[in-house]
Amino acid sequence: MSDSSGIPERALTPGEFDEPRAEVGVETRQLTLATLQKNAILNGLEPSEAEDILRRGKLVDLKTRSVIYQADEVMREAFFPVDAVLSVVTQMKNGASIEVGTIGREGVSAIPLLLGATTSANESYCQVPGCAVVISADHFRTLSHNHRFRRLIDRFLQAYVNMLGHLAACNGLHSIYERTARWLLMTRDRVDSDEIALTHEFLSMMLGTRRSGVTIAAATLQQAGFIRYSHGHIVIVDHNGLELAACECYEVAREQFAGLLRPVDA
pLDDT band at 118 (very low <50, low <70, confident <90, very high): very high
Q: What is the distance between the alpha carbons of residues 163 and 172, in angstroms, rounded to a whole number?
A: 14
What's the pLDDT score for residue 25? 58
Model confidence pLDDT, tens digit, residues 13-66: 433 434 445 555 565 668 999 999 999 999 999 999 999 999 999 999 999 889
Nearest of 84, 77, 69 to residue 39 by alpha carbon: 84
Higher pLDDT, 99 or 220: 220
Q: Beta partners for 126? A: 86
Q: Which helix (H) or strand (E) holds 223?
A: helix 211-223
Work out the widest C-alpha separation in the chain, in whole angstroms: 56
What's the pLDDT score for residue 59? 96
For 8, 125, 168, 199, the CA distances from 214, given in Å and listed in that order, are: 12, 21, 18, 10
Model confidence pLDDT, tens digit, residues 221-248: 999 999 998 877 899 999 999 999 998 8
Averaged pLDDT score across all residues of the chain = 82
Model confidence pLDDT, tens digit, residues 130-141: 999 999 999 999
What's the pLDDT score for residue 98? 77
For every residue of 53-119, DSSP letters joined together read HHHH-EEEEE-TTBEEE-TTS---EEEEESS-EEEEEEE-TTS-EEEEEEE-TT--S-HHHHTT-S-
Tell me the mean pLDDT in the region 137-154: 92
Higher pLDDT, 40 or 175: 40
